[in-house]
Amino acid sequence: MRVAERISKVPPYLFATIDKKKREAIERGVDIISFGIGDPDRPTPPGVIEAMTREIGKPENHRYPDYEGCPEFRRAVAEWYRRRFGITLDPDSEVITLIGSKEGIAHIYLAYVDPGDYSLVPDPAYPVYRLGTLFAGGQPHTMPLLKKNKFLPDFSAIPSEIANKAKIMMLNYPNNPTGAVADLKFFAEAVAFCREYDIVLCHDCAYSEMTFDGYRAPSLLQVEGARELAVEFNSLSKPFNMTGWRLGFAVGCREVISALGIIKTNVDSGQFTAVQKAGIAALLDTPDSFLTGMNEIYRRRRDVLVAGLNELGLKVEKNLATFYLWVEVPDNCTSIEFASLLLDKCGIICVPGTGYGEYGEGYVRFALTVEEARIGEALMRMKTHFGRLS
């Protein structure tokens, strides 16, 4: 049977491929140390689990949930934004619950992109930005993220004929995979550009709470006028170690939230209400010490891995946010060759940069979701096999 053309354009999903290689290596008896998928290795906060235990037994939570999220969770999101960013949101019209932020990011393109329309997509980037465009029949236009520009897109490089046909611009800071950060001046420039060309501005802010060395990530919505054209996606997955719970949200421009809601009400039935009630505990009741402690764990891991990789001759800088390191590969290797070499010779999994786009070539991504002892073991394996890599 012939699949739809949109399916034929889609490459194998990056992390599914990594999982397959990992399983194959384990079956061969290899002791794998995986820096691959960004999946926290620590448990969900106890208070969230306790809330879920209470809520899961309540019969009223067993029925279809509200399509756009239960009112209590949306109010909790609004309160969290007020506390965290000083932003006042209307929970009824400016907040929508998502089955993980990935779901909303993929669906936003169906709400705004018609066949032939453009979206402005960073590269390297989370693959869903490009794939969401393709599923909607649109054309992704690449915004290169280059080291010389601190991995920020250059809006002046976007041709006006493309900008005039663009419906969505996607940004992501703190950034996956590069670990780069952006300030409010940059976000103001993005808002001005999108206002000029009547573009919906979307910001994937899933790593806002994973920051180090005194840095604190801003919200795009803190820019004056941003809520007239922008939405921000966030998730409980990474800061609260809740990747498997699948709970996120989008906030911002009420017209965009409404359009996204139309897609959701027609393709899914919302997240299980008990999960949303547990999400309230995560957002409003989790002590600050939990996030501080998690970030300290990732900071220590970052410092050990950065020092060790630099000692081996690789080029990597300390990032201020996310739990990823964006590491330059040796001059004589492509990113796929180097990732394959680490797996075959050292039993180490990292992600080749080309999995995030053509401008990811020359890099691999390491996720800091590995205990310090295992990081030390990985560095020792690399040192034993390679000596120095420069």
Look at residue 148 in the predicted model and tell me its pLDDT.
97
- Residue partners of 146: CB distance under 8 A and separation at least 6: 359
Residue 155 CA neighbour count, 13 Å, CB half: 19
| Model pLDDT for residues 186-214, shown as the tens digit of each residue | 999 999 999 999 999 999 999 999 999 99
Laid out side by side, the sheet with 139-144 consists of 95-98, 248-252, 230-235, 200-204, 166-172, 118-123, 139-144
Are 181 and 320 in contact by the 8 Å Cβ rule? The answer is yes
- The amino acid sitting at 86 is G
Are 338 and 352 in contact by the 8 Å Cβ rule? The answer is yes
Mean pLDDT, the chain, rounded, equals 95
Look at residue 125 in the predicted model and tell me its pLDDT.
97
| Model pLDDT for residues 37-92, shown as the tens digit of each residue | 899 999 999 999 999 999 999 999 999 999 899 999 999 999 999 999 999 999 99
Look at residue 13 in the predicted model and tell me its pLDDT.
64
- Residue partners of 74: CB distance under 8 A and separation at least 6: 68, 91, 92, 95, 96, 97, 249
Q: Does domain 5-43+289-386 have CATH number 3.90.1150.10?
A: yes
Q: Hey, do 5-43+289-386 and 46-285 end up sharing a CATH topology, with the first three levels equal?
A: no
Q: How many other β-carbons are positioned within 10 Å of the β-carbon of residue 229? A: 19
Burial (CB count within 10 angstroms: exposed 0-12, middle 13-18, buried 19+), residue 5: exposed
CATH of 46-285, one of 1.10.8.50, 3.40.640.10, 3.80.10.10, 3.40.50.720: 3.40.640.10
* Single pTM value for the model: 0.95
The two tokens of residue 331 are 């001059």
Q: How many percent of the chain have pLDDT more than 90?
A: 88
Are 371 and 379 in contact by the 8 Å Cβ rule? The answer is no
DSSP string, 252-317: E-HHHHHHHHHHHHHH-----HHHHHHHHIIIIIS-HHHHHHHHHHHHHHHHHHHHHHHHTT-B--
| Model pLDDT for residues 210-219, shown as the tens digit of each residue | 999 999 999 9
| Model pLDDT for residues 34-52, shown as the tens digit of each residue | 999 899 999 999 999 999 9
Residue 18 pLDDT > 90, yes or no? no
Look at residue 258 in the predicted model and tell me its pLDDT.
98
Domain boundaries, the chain: 5-43+289-386, 46-285
